[in-house]
Copies of this chain bind each other. A is one copy, B any other.
Amino acid sequence: MALRHAVLAALLSGEYSGYQLAKAFDVGVANFWYAQPQQLYLELTKLEKDGLISGRQVVQEARPNKRLFTVTEAGKVELARFATADCKPSFIRDDLLVKVQAVDHIDAAPVIAQLDDRAAAAAAKIEFLDRLLRQLRGDLDEETFLRRGEPLGPYLTCLRGRQFEQEHHTWCVRAATVLRDRAKNRSS
| A interface residue numbers (CB < 8 A to B) | 2, 5-6, 8-10, 12, 28, 31-34, 76, 79-80, 82-84, 86-107, 110-111, 114, 118, 121, 146-148, 150-154, 156-157, 159-161, 163-164, 167-168, 170-171, 174-175, 178-179, 181-182, 185
Find out whether the CB atom of B90 lies under 8 angstroms from the CB atom of A93: yes
Question: Can you sample 10 A-B contacts with CB below 8 Å?
Answer: A5-B98, A32-B92, A79-B106, A82-B98, A87-B114, A90-B95, A103-B156, A104-B153, A156-B175, A160-B175
Nearest B residue to A143, CB-CB: B178
Chain B residue contacts of A34, Cβ below 8 A: 91-93
CA A148 to CA B80, docked complex, whole Å? 52
Q: Chain A binding site: helix, strand, loop or mixed by DSSP?
A: helix
Chain B residue contacts of A93, Cβ below 8 A: 2, 33-34, 90
Chain B residue contacts of A178, Cβ below 8 A: 146-147, 152, 156
Minimum-distance CB pairs A-B, first 7: A87-B95, A32-B97, A34-B91, A90-B94, A103-B153, A9-B101, A9-B102
Distance in angstroms from A167 CB to nearest chain B CB is: 5
Find out whether the CB atom of B28 lies under 8 angstroms from the CB atom of A101: no
Find out whether the CB atom of A12 lies under 8 angstroms from the CB atom of B91: no
Find out whether the CB atom of A106 lies under 8 angstroms from the CB atom of B76: yes
Find out whether the CB atom of A106 lies under 8 angstroms from the CB atom of B90: no
A80 touching B107 in the complex, CB below 8 Å, given contacts A92-B161, A114-B86, A114-B87: yes
A106 touching B92 in the complex, CB below 8 Å, given contacts A9-B101, A146-B178: no
